[in-house]
């Protein structure tokens, strides 16, 4: 059996997951990557995307809108701005994510405009992966 590590996923609203995982696929702002036991210590910024956790009971997926991941040889912690299991994401939830991202982009200072425009695109990509629409303007 693959080496296991501690995995925790939390958002300001709740703790979504805590347990053992063999691998965690993370949507990093600088590129997606997989954390495993004995991974080099890393701190990464998250982009909107899907965190996929491989555990003893199978695969679990969570949508995150951003945040940070802290990886150490013994575990991975994801601190998400907003997060929820993929099974809880509805069209209404996706509309809220898009509305918030578009409002942030439209009210951005010029130096943040590109980053926030990319965030709107990343959320649209998550919607497409889940078979939902991203109604952005």
Domain extent, residue 64, equals 5-86
pLDDT (tens digit, 9 = 90+) per residue, 81-91? Answer: 999 999 999 99
Same domain (yes/no): 33, 16? yes
Examine the pLDDT at 1 and tell me if it is beyond 60.
no
Residue 24 phi/psi, 5° resolution? Answer: -135, 120
Same domain (yes/no): 44, 111? no
Q: Is 79 exposed, middle or buried (0-12, 13-18, 19+ CB in 10 A)?
A: middle
pLDDT (tens digit, 9 = 90+) per residue, 57-86? Answer: 899 999 999 999 999 999 999 999 999 999
Examine the pLDDT at 32 and tell me if it is beyond 60.
yes
- In whole angstroms, give the CA distance from residue 94 to residue 22: 29
- Provide the pLDDT for residue 110: 85
CATH of the domain at 44: 2.60.15.10
- Provide the pLDDT for residue 62: 98
pLDDT (tens digit, 9 = 90+) per residue, 95-128? Answer: 999 999 999 989 888 888 888 888 989 999 999 9
Examine the pLDDT at 135 and tell me if it is beyond 80.
no
Same domain (yes/no): 81, 95? no
Determine the 3-state secondary structure of 113 from DSSP.
helix
Same domain (yes/no): 31, 72? yes
Same domain (yes/no): 17, 47? yes
- In whole angstroms, give the CA distance from residue 69 to residue 94: 22
The number of domains in the chain is: 2
Examine the pLDDT at 2 and tell me if it is beyond 70.
no
């Amino acid at each position: 059996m693959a080496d296991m590590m501690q995995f925790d996923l939390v958002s300001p609203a709740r703790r979504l997951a805590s347990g053992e995982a063999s691998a965690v696929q993370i949507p990093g702002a600088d590129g997606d990557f997989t954390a495993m036991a004995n991974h080099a210590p890393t701190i990464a910024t998250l982009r909107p995307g899907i965190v996929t956790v491989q555990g003893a009971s199978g695969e679990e997926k969570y949508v995150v809108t951003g945040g940070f991941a802290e990886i150490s040889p013994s575990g991975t912690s994801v601190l998400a701005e907003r997060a929820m299991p993929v099974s809880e994401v509805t069209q209404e939830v996706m509309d809220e994510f898009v509305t918030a991202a578009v409002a942030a982009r439209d009210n951005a200072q010029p130096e943040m405009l590109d980053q926030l425009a990319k965030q709107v695109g990343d959320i649209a990509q998550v919607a497409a992966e889940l078979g939902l629409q991203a109604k952005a303007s």
